[in-house]
Structure 1
Amino acid sequence: MGVLLLKQTCAILSTYAADVSGVCSALYEMGGMTVMHDASGCNSTYNTHDEPRWYDMPSMVFISALAEVDAVMGDDEKLIGDVCRAAEELRPRFVALAGTPIPMMMGTDFKGVARLIESRTGIPTFGFATNGMHSYNKGASTALAAVAERFCDPSLSRRELAAEEAPEVNLLGVTPLDFSVTGNVEAMKKSFVDAGFRVNSCWAMGDGWERLMEAGRAHVNVVVSSCGEGLAKVLREKYAIPAVTGIPIGAAAQRELFDAARAAARDGNDRKMPAPDAEGAEFIVVGEPVQSAEIARALHRDFGIESVGAISPLDFPDEDKIFAQLKNARTVIADPLYKPALPKGCRFLSLPHEGYSGRIFRDQIPLIMGGNFNEWIKKELSL
């Protein structure tokens, strides 16, 4: 056990934003009140590194200010009382509790606490047993799925696609942790519109609550990050909406994604775009699972690069494994904080990821949606 824990410790590379940040990011624009159960550290990390919307969009994200004596005594009543008083004053659409490492060690029953708060206030309340030991995508995926499961209108049903009708899509898993606030979300929506789709809802950036609640009207879901995977399952179970996993990156690659989305809208079957295998690849893309796979696919489809693959370290914080996967790489696309993992002489293309390096390199994030990707690659590779 000791050896395993040491292998999961990052001594050189950074770590991805934690699951608690994923919950806060996913729910940020929904009008709810999110409470991190922690002393203070997790809140400051989320505020200063993981959330760029603070500057122009307020949200009810709070910290419970867990004290040492409360942790030792396991006093949940203080948390319950504080949250109830705040909720009764602010009257949020819902309350969400998110855990951190200390409550994990305390054995806090978040679902039980949530039930007590809801019974006292009458406000729908979620309890997410996040613990800071997993990456942001797991927290965001759980939170988005929970909201859809509880609130999305059950009377709606997926409509059959008429012969000449433009398919309506839900974009699932859109948060600043993966897409930042530098224009890629808007460019992604535009790519779908230009291809003849209508964007029904975007979970969960840029769309109001009412629009999100009409997710059941769409013909197809497009899972644009791993944050949307849980939500896609809920919407399929609730409305029988099929899902396609991918992002419109690259001219040729995005056409294949759009074709897959149209086909899914017609036949109701899920589709996932094929991801190149990273084993032995000389050109490797490192990052979030969906985005890195789509970039690798675009390099293959649009530029004819054969030895290309994608790796996503979100689920294995094992530096030895990351170093081993990159040892034969000649070119790597990754966040700048991955530079120490590159072999000598490897060419590096910087693609900052807000969920990994936070705000440090935000002003260097390029537009990569649609044909913008081709222009970026041509410039970076001097093609």
Structure 2
Amino acid sequence: RDMDAIMGRDANLVAKIREAAAELTVSFVGLVSTPVPAIIATDFRAVCRMVEKETGLPTIAVRTDGTRLYDRGASAACDALVQKFTAPIPHDAMRTGLGVLGLTPLDFSREERASLHALLGREDTPIRFFDRLDDFREAARLKELLVVSPAGLKAARRLQRQWGIPIRAELPPAFIHEAFSAVLSRLAALLQDGQQREILIVHQQILANGLRLAICQRFPALPAGAVTVGSFFLLDRELQWEGDLHFRGEQDFHAYLQAHPDAIVIGDALLARAVPEPFGGTLLDLPHFALSGRKAPMHPSRTLEYAKNSISN
């Protein structure tokens, strides 16, 4: 409770955790900060020590404050798990396997995750998707890390610094072509007239970068800089191309479309709510669960109807 946090009654929280741990089969305890503990600077290291002493369970703290977006919290949680559980190994130890970081249900639908699992599973190497605690414990033994969303970058770079594991921040081209074939086909139909139009991809950065590469390869006649990535979420400088955009809010997105009234926007249909009137461009639906809570693309004819209903509701 807020008053417990403000008055420093940490023992109450520890007692509740002890009772829960006695009833559940758990491997560790995670403390995720909310605005009040963040404002009063709760000493989470001390609370973690108290919990570990009372429960015998390893405990991590995710120092969120309730004022930022989902990817920062996911990034902090993944990094905290790596810090706590990755076991040291000799630097000359044999390395094997591929680790996939950032495969969260907020960034990928169930079907997209299954497609990526199947594609990577064809490779003759063990894969760790960091969905089990053992994957974090054995992370230092990995031969390579594949980061598929910005939420996994911080943890991957920690593993790279500490254990020299190389990183690839990308999605396999075969996955992009398979998972987003419908978007690419609709884009091909729009570009048939040969008219030069700006293309804006709005999603998490690594997926958007992969889709941009697929578009540039499929349509080599597009001029340099015709495809731009924009995101409301983390935009890592090392992965940015010149001209990529970080939208601080819907107003920035709205302003971009006012400046590019004929653009093709590849993004969640919910973005239609922020499209200026009049707008002569096209919105191709690319669902982002973190944005709208939708997992599958809708029929093109329903995009504007969906947006209008979302506004009225």
Shorter chain as normaliser: what TM range? 0.7 to 0.9
Give the aligned CA root-mean-square deviation in angstroms.
2.9
Distance 2:17 2:42 in 1: 15
Cα gap change, 1:365/1:159 in structure 2, threshold over 3 Å: closer, same or farther?
farther
1:353 matched to 2:294? The reply is no
Aligned to 1:202: 129
Contact 1:159 1:218 in 2 (8 A): no
Distance 1:337 1:117 in 2: 42
> How far does residue 120 in structure 1 lie from its aligned partner after superposition?
2.2
> How far does residue 74 in structure 1 lie from its aligned partner after superposition?
4.3
Unaligned 5+ segments in structure 2 are: 179-196, 235-246, 300-313
> How far does residue 217 in structure 1 lie from its aligned partner after superposition?
3.1
Aligned to 2:228: 309
1:244 matched to 2:168? The reply is yes
Cα gap change, 1:212/1:124 in structure 2, threshold over 3 Å: closer, same or farther?
closer
Aligned to 2:304: none
Aligned AA for 1:333? I
State the identity %: 30
Unaligned 5+ segments in structure 1 are: 1-65, 162-166, 255-280, 367-383
In the TM superposition, 1:1-383 aligns within 5 A as: 66=1, 69-70=3-4, 73-90=7-24, 92-155=26-89, 168-181=97-110, 183-194=111-122, 196=123, 198-204=125-131, 208-249=132-173, 282-304=198-220, 305-306=222-223, 307-315=226-234, 317-327=248-258, 328=260, 330-343=263-276, 344-358=279-293, 361-364=294-297
Q: Render the CA deviation track for 1:4-58: whole Å, top value 9, x for unaligned.
A: xxxxxxxxxxxxxxxxxxxxxxxxxxxxxxxxxxxxxxxxxxxxxxxxxxxxxxx
Q: Secondary structure at the match of 1:153?
A: coil
Cα gap change, 1:160/1:111 in structure 2, threshold over 3 Å: closer, same or farther?
closer
> How far does residue 146 in structure 1 lie from its aligned partner after superposition?
1.9
Aligned AA for 1:308? V
Aligned AA for 1:340? R
Aligned AA for 2:281? C
> How far does residue 129 in structure 1 lie from its aligned partner after superposition?
1.8
Cα gap change, 1:120/1:71 in structure 2, threshold over 3 Å: closer, same or farther?
closer
Contact 1:284 1:326 in 2 (8 A): no
Contact 1:110 1:127 in 2 (8 A): yes
Contact 1:157 1:216 in 2 (8 A): no
> How far does residue 97 in structure 1 lie from its aligned partner after superposition?
0.5
Aligned residues: 263
> How far does residue 233 in structure 1 lie from its aligned partner after superposition?
1.5
Distance 1:251 1:115 in 2: 43
Structure with greater Cα Rg: 2
Contact 1:323 1:342 in 2 (8 A): yes
> How far does residue 131 in structure 1 lie from its aligned partner after superposition?
1.4
Q: Secondary structure at the match of 1:134?
A: coil
Aligned AA for 2:18? C
Q: Which has the higher contact order (CA 8 A, sep 6+)?
A: 1
Cα gap change, 1:140/1:197 in structure 2, threshold over 3 Å: closer, same or farther?
farther
Q: What TM-score do the two structures reach when normalised by structure 2?
A: 0.74
